[in-house]
Amino acid sequence: MSAKRDLSLIPRKENQRDAQPIAPPVQFSLEEIKQHFVDSMQSIKEQYVVADSLLVDGNENGCKTIWRSQIVLAEGLLDFYIHEMSKFCLFRMFTGQWEKSEKYASIKIPMAKVEEAMEAIESKDWFFNYLNDRFSRDVFISKESMRDQLNLIGIGFSAVMVKAFPSDKEETSNKYGSKVVADLFERRNVIAHQNDRSHASAEQNDISKEFVSDYISKVETIMSSIHSIAEDKG
């Protein structure tokens, strides 16, 4: 005689899913990081065609909306680039491939990560994972935050400004570059948070294709200067 099957109802477990392993962050090369920026910036530049078409059709407001979106996206690309470079540079310091920056020793690591490191004696990937989590919520495109971050990762804010905006004096390049970074960030914020309008009058700032082209050119110049300095470090 076969055993009787238990047909009684069993409470259904809700809000439970099988845990999926989290893929570790990819460690990209210096050239791959640059290519991420270049490819994405090309997609942004291709929106000029859309804006031009809207302008030809008489939709000036739509055209200017595209131009404003290009500003926000371009600045976002620079921020993401600095995030990727931060992981690249600091991991090389950690593994002894680069000389450590003055601010490297100030990096604070939670005890949970320290314990993880102790368990993974033969691998240094835990530190890269930590950097990925640590910087994911930060923004590095204001003048102050960009200066602090570039100095931390051994690139040097002043060195980037001198290379990006050369002049007869380093002080002049640094001062001009600092103003450029501040102006880029300010216009991006006004567009992103205020629809490019004045708090005082609610009037919308004007924008032109020439302004957007110059803005993007400056973003690209800053990126190229960071890349060049990193490349020289090997």
Q: Residue 204's beta-bridge partner residues?
A: 197
Tokens of 53: 């078409």
Q: Is 167 exposed, middle or buried (0-12, 13-18, 19+ CB in 10 A)?
A: middle
pTM (2 d.p.)? 0.87
Give the per-residue pLDDT at 82.
98
* Interhelix angle 30-45/47-56, nearest 10 degrees: 10
C-alpha dihedral sign at 232, 134, 24, 72: negative
Give the per-residue pLDDT at 16.
56
Q: What is the full per-residue pLDDT of the chain (234 aa) written as tens digits?
A: 455 555 555 555 565 555 555 677 889 999 999 999 999 999 999 999 999 999 999 999 999 999 999 999 999 999 999 999 999 999 999 999 999 999 999 999 888 888 887 877 667 888 998 999 989 889 999 999 999 999 999 999 999 999 999 999 999 999 999 999 999 999 999 999 999 999 999 999 999 999 999 999 999 999 999 999 999 997
Give the per-residue pLDDT at 110.
85
Q: Is 13 exposed, middle or buried (0-12, 13-18, 19+ CB in 10 A)?
A: exposed
Q: Is 49 exposed, middle or buried (0-12, 13-18, 19+ CB in 10 A)?
A: exposed
The residue type of 89 is C
CA 144 to chain centre: 15
